[in-house]
Structure 1
């Protein structure tokens, strides 16, 4: 009997927590990090401020969990799974370009808001550090695979190529192409794939392997 009572409570708690994180995401996207206070989240979610503190001990905890919430809602792991499943490093690089271009518009608003205020807001800074850590690790794994398969273009090291890739897939580049220049995600994906291939893949490479 206790189990049957506990499970609905847990389910309600998870739904309430998700509703608060959703409210926080909306506030960040619409008004920025500075406006995303515990009181504002409570008002947006239609609950008391005390109810917010029942789930999050502080604003810092709420914001720190926002990265995981967005990652889960947007299914980052699932969206990028085909990259690691690619048959070779070159195919993985091209898949990454298309997946990145399709995914970026979904998280660009919240990501840009956090990025802009990371220098002044400690909670934003922690969130941004977590996001960048994930991006760096993902990009480095991709470049390391090119290197391991012997198809990384001459002149690059894993470190320098990772840094350059991180810059090429930055929020600013995506915002310029998608918002300012009006590219579609499909156009961005196709053109980014060509750019990444010409930049990081050694000439004389076919099917992810150097030609004899």
Structure 2
């Protein structure tokens, strides 16, 4: 009887763990969806602004085109990053649940790994393009900074104030975020290198 009660207790614990795992997975998916929606607002606004004022910036007709291209690429990047997160956090945990994959895990591992690797390569390419495109857009906007006017729409030095100021603000914000991201990445990399070096030193001393 005592053995049976222990088995029942163990089964209940396993069920609780599985239930908590499913709950955390659902919460993770919800968080990813909310964050993706919030981040996607900026690219959607960029596309709308570029389309809405495509003929309203004669001082540099490339500024609205910059906004459209930047918004499209950024939106695609957000979608692909969200897909990558969903694959790694959800599909990656359930892919080994069936008996076939338990007997032959390499097939599932290669499937998930190749998919994630391909998407990450595309993400990296889009990010590099977006970085260069942002620099180009910044040059165009700053070049018109001292010459632009917002009153006489028929003149060649005119640009719609909403388009120009929105584009400048988005460029400024995204540039600061990229610098912040780069600093955080460098900090984490330096910390990891320091910890690895310290671990190697301790190992060599123990040896």
- TM score, norm. by length of structure 1: 0.29
